[in-house]
Structure 1
């Protein structure tokens, strides 16, 4: 894997760190939006190596973590019904609902299957026409095109036993919600490269101008992240607030035109509730009326199901960058991957899971060398 190794080169990492240090004249707070970037940062100790004065704030870019509690409970209700095959990506199975999770429902006899693509669920519906197959459609802009394609295929094939429980969310409205939140300390953003590979960068200049924040599209390897930080700090020190693409090998400015056409055919924007945060206007997608027959909430009559969030779990503050995971009293005690209070402890992109996995129970003072795996 020489290509990956090149983006984890410790010598180049040190040169980027030296450049960041030389350009720094004051303190700055940056938010990495994506949970995948958070895991890379914690895994490689990037936040510990940065010069004093740069704080990385972990953002709400984990779609599993922000899936609201009532949607999890809707999934549990649908999955429990006779004759249903409930399909999901694996990282949703441990996300706690009000009283249980999908693993527990599966152990009670429900037919819950982990799939790697919504098209796997679609093929299952074709093979088992006498059963209702439901796919749990969770994700940001990265997974939405494949799910939109599955909806198109289901329509083309005339499948009446396939439906989608949709909880898709969008990154730009989340950035705006962060900037509008009380006490916001974020001065710049590292934008998620995989999201922009689908959507392009057209939605970000207006945000950069409105809130006077640099937005740098960034990848996921150590050198990608350090280069994103370097460009962000350079803008901040110059008093600039532009959108820059530091991930050109994967992100064209116009995004993926074919994926965008499919998304616009199947989905339209809607207000969406984010777990621990609340409702963010136009921050999600729902199926268009032409695809309403594929809406699992409508098909199984669970649209009006409502629940109360746990008062003990502080994942909403973590998702908004107000709290580091280890600063929560429940972290590592009453809240662990085996006994999670919130999704941020069990999602593969959750900040709490990253801190627990890499034993980040406190923020060390010492600056260490980037881990090279």
Structure 2
């Protein structure tokens, strides 16, 4: 476990926690007047609860869980469109496992598979390419899903399909970008945010400069963080030190992985294959300008929306959230999962009402998994 255990050292963690407590006191933050720090990435949310960092950090820090789960932010209409594609008899629909149990208005992809649709879980879009090669008489659709972290692999797969002239392969593109929803949250007058812990894996692709506007235009600090306990504690400390010192900067705690300007090969593939959509609908945030990606006309032959006349290429369908579901409020930090009236009752991992209870990066799943019965009792 070399290079992992070092970031889980309890002695080092205690030293950082002591420093955090000191800086919180210097700021004058209290339980009644806390510093509000949003961790944007769902992976960070799960790490915070897995390692009990929410309980180890002193009063005066309030963690706000942001819209950093790509499965969670998809509106139900897009899940319905996935199922519509998957239920076509000529289609083999391929997807990451995280999306299988996300409920649409009538059913999930898992339920559609049980009903007879040919839906296959894959680990990579390259797996979907191989399925297309082996099934030339079928249309193979890959559910392109995720932030900038997964976008390059889909782009490279589309480029490979074009080189092979693999006409039975296409992508239902639901790739989205991180900076626009952060701007939408900062523009919301009801949101109280003092600083951000920035996403590590996304930043590995895009670098740190796409976040410059957060400091320059909104006067808020952001620290790009890794995923181990010491990574997160150090990042929180760096945010607090900026607030104490009256600074607003974009800092990179995860420099062992995240280069300042991102990954040039990945960025080139993204730029070649995708362009920004005029707008994209986010669960809980509505339509956000230039927050989603679509496949360029150059690669239109591999765009499932064009091929099957579905999604943004067809008539848009607005679908309301299920009655009593608070996914939108939880995902944007307006509500804690335990405050949702359905948490642990009408919505559980076995019978989810919303995506946040299903996804491995969902805030509700983190509370339920690591809080267990205590979290359900708190909801009551």
Q: Which residue in 1 is equivalent to 2:111?
A: 104
1:309 aligns with 2:320: yes
CA distance in 1, matches of 2:36, 2:259: 27
CA distance in 2, matches of 1:306, 1:235: 44
**Post-superposition shift, 1:119?**
0.6
CA distance in 2, matches of 1:220, 1:76: 33
**Post-superposition shift, 1:72?**
0.6
1:209 aligns with 2:216: yes
Alpha-carbon deviations, 1:256-293, whole Å to 9, x = none? 00110000000011221111221111111111111122
3-state secondary structure, aligned to 1:156: helix
Alpha-carbon deviations, 1:219-241, whole Å to 9, x = none? 11100000100000000111111
Using CA pairs under 8 Å that are at least 6 residues apart, name the structure with larger relative contact order, 1 or 2. Answer: 1
Q: 1:363 to 1:215 in 2, by over 3 A?
A: farther
Q: Which residue in 1 is equivalent to 2:191?
A: 184
1:40 aligns with 2:47: yes
Any residues of structure 2 matched to 1:270-281 within 5 Å, and which? Answer: 270=277, 271-281=279-289
- What TM-score do the two structures reach when normalised by structure 2? 0.94
Contact 1:276 1:309 in 2 (8 A): no
Q: 1:364 to 1:106 in 2, by over 3 A?
A: closer
Q: Which residue in 1 is equivalent to 2:148?
A: 141
1:321 aligns with 2:328: no
- What TM-score do the two structures reach when normalised by structure 1? 0.95
CA distance in 1, matches of 2:310, 2:350: 28
Q: 1:314 to 1:364 in 2, by over 3 A?
A: closer
1:348 aligns with 2:360: yes
Any residues of structure 2 matched to 1:52-91 within 5 Å, and which? Answer: 52-91=59-98
**Post-superposition shift, 1:363?**
11
CA distance in 2, matches of 1:21, 1:117: 43
Tell me how many residue pairs correspond in the alignment: 365
Q: 1:356 to 1:189 in 2, by over 3 A?
A: same
1:10 aligns with 2:10: yes
Which 5+ residue runs of structure 2 have no aligned equivalent? 30-34
Q: 1:226 to 1:354 in 2, by over 3 A?
A: same
CA distance in 1, matches of 2:284, 2:370: 24
